[in-house]
Amino acid sequence: MARRKRGNPVHGWVILDKPYDLGSTQAVNIVRAIFNAQKAGHGGTLDPLATGLLPIALGEATKTVPYVMDGEKQYEFSVRWGEATDTDDVEGDVIATSDHRPTEADIVAILPKFTGLISQVPPKFSAIKINGERAYDLARAGEKVVLKARDIQVDSLELVKIIDAEHAKFKITCGKGTYIRSIARDMALELGSVAHVTHLKRTKVGHFGQNQMISLDKLREISHSAADFAELSQNLISVETALDDIPALAIDRHEKDELKMGRELIPYNSISEYSGEVACLFEGVLIAICECDGVSLKPKRVFNIV
């Protein structure tokens, strides 16, 4: 006899405005408890000292997490010139100083070097694994951490304003795997100085943006005052929102039943115009993500959304 899952079958995305000094896993656990959801995950880690957009997947939305993690990201961040830390942010110890402070013209001139496909060495205090160990665990233990450079995509990097001689604010749009702390570190070196990140806020992940964010305090307030779950569930964004880059295909009831069984499907209607992944929906409800070759649909992920 199958063991009954604890919690409610809640499906959808919560776009959390993560507060400062809260880990991503902690945030997921709090939101999962508020909704009493059976499953939960997130669409891209935010450091505890970072704030802003953390997409949290509940229930069947967890099956779409990879599509969100591969999406475009936007951040706002501030840099302090003249001090480098071992973590490349305010949490670390100062390991180098410089008297040089770049001018606005200097900063603007080097920004093109940090856009497009660029090579970046991640911070040693990062979650990257080295021989099965997290880099930050090795660094905290005093061990030497050597990380290889990796290619990342930066679509845009702009100077928002000069705050004062010591600080500047930036905005970046980038792809998966980009470390903003490394961007700040490398910009400073290019400018003949050193620096670290003092403030970092994520404002976009994939198709999720700031206008969809909700705070933990607001979620708690709603959960305590809501007359029923329906009021709380109004703050859920549909599972298929994470798949907006994938073509949607409407299917009939028979086709739905076949895909639910995990069977390859040759649809009644022509699908010759489709190639690659498609999201199959029945009456607006996501049923499966399928691989389409123009003739048949092979289910890759099947969803159980009531």
pLDDT tier at 1 (50, 70, 90 boundaries)?
A: very low
Among 89, 85, 83, smallest CA distance to 21 is for 89
What domains are defined for the chain?
A: 12-70+208-240 (3.30.2350.10), 73-203 (3.30.2350.10), 246-302 (2.30.130.10)
Using one digit for the tens of pLDDT, what is the confidence trace for 4-42?
668 888 999 999 999 999 999 999 999 999 999 999 999
Catalytic positions are 47
- Mean pLDDT, the chain, integer: 91
Query: What's the confidence (pLDDT) of residue 173?
Result: 98
Task: Output the pTM of the full model.
Answer: 0.89
Tens of pLDDT, residue by residue over 101-144, are 999 999 999 999 999 999 998 877 656 666 666 666 666 766 67
Who has greater pLDDT, 223 or 184? 184
